[in-house]
Amino acid sequence: MTRTTRLRHRLAVTLAGPLSLLLACAATTTARAATGEPSGRVGAVGGYAALGDSFASGVGAGRAGGDCRRSSLAHPALWAAGHHPGRFDFAACTGATSADVTAQQLSGLDRSTTLVSITVGGNDVGFADVMRTCTLSSESACLESVARSEKAVDHDLPGKLDAAYRAVKAKAAHARVVVLGYPHLFSRDACLMGPVTGREQSVLNTAADHLNRVTRDRARAHGYVFADVTAAFAGHEICSADPWIHAPSLLTADVAYHPTEEGQREGYLPALTTAAGPGHA
């Protein structure tokens, strides 16, 4: 048995259970607040709602709890702590799809909500399964899994995002909506990263660009602001000198491929702050 095969086997035992937790989802709501302005306008913060999946809930940043694994170090919580909105509804949940956002995360939105942030789409196209396959299986299996996911990005994701974005508009017609994308997981130059080959790393980064591009186009079609975080994470991917993404290992199995505390604070938070606009700064 080769060293790579042994590592894949050990990761399979360790990652299989914890990674599956990333597919679990629930949602909660919080307190009350003030009035807002017409959609798209920037003004004083009334209510702020943070929606989406594990990248929004803060898996990997630490201090995460509950079934949804929301962290006080996630970018929505950090933004709320620094800007003191009249109400903060932190509904993002690990494993959430766009349908989960619509069904389980909108109860705290109303006409007083002036800002909404959302990161969602990865679970709609099976990206958690893709990462599991690329970590634990062969290169050919990884590439096939990525290809299936990219097909879903083109054929299934646009309609799913449209439905979620329309639902947000229906509940919070006066809110500025910021849609945040996903970072590249790996450095531009392929690195020796255990079970994930250089070719797989490149293909996964390209798939992230594809996902971001479709998400951006659908967000803009609804009049929402898209915040791309790939530039912010440049130089801080897995294998970089200062990574803001957790590499898979026996010690990080339950947070693998998610932003660290630094990634949330230095990557996602500035993107949200800028996209929220001067009236929310």
Cα 52 from chain centroid?
7
Q: Which domain holds residue 265?
A: 3-280
- Cβ atoms of 92 and 56 closer than 8 Å: yes
CATH number of the domain that 169 lies in?
3.40.50.1110
Positions annotated as catalytic residues are 54, 258
Per-residue pLDDT tens over the stretch 169-210: 999 999 999 999 999 999 987 677 778 999 999 999 999 999
C-alpha 29/C-alpha 15 separation (Å) is 30
Looking at per-residue confidence, does 255 or 29 come out higher? 255
Residue recorded with tokens 């994470």 = 233
Of 19, 16, 4, the C-alpha closest to 258 is: 19
- Label residue 40 by pLDDT band (50, 70, 90): very low
Do 211 and 202 contact (CB within 8 A), yes or no?
no
Tell me the average pLDDT across 210-226: 98
CA separation for the pair 55, 96 (Å, rounded): 10
Report the alpha-carbon distance of residue 113 to residue 36 in Å, rounded.
6
Number of domains in the chain: 1
Q: Which residues of 182-216 are buried (b: 16+ CB within 10 A; e: fewer)?
A: bbbbbbeebbebebbbeebbebbbebbebbbebbb
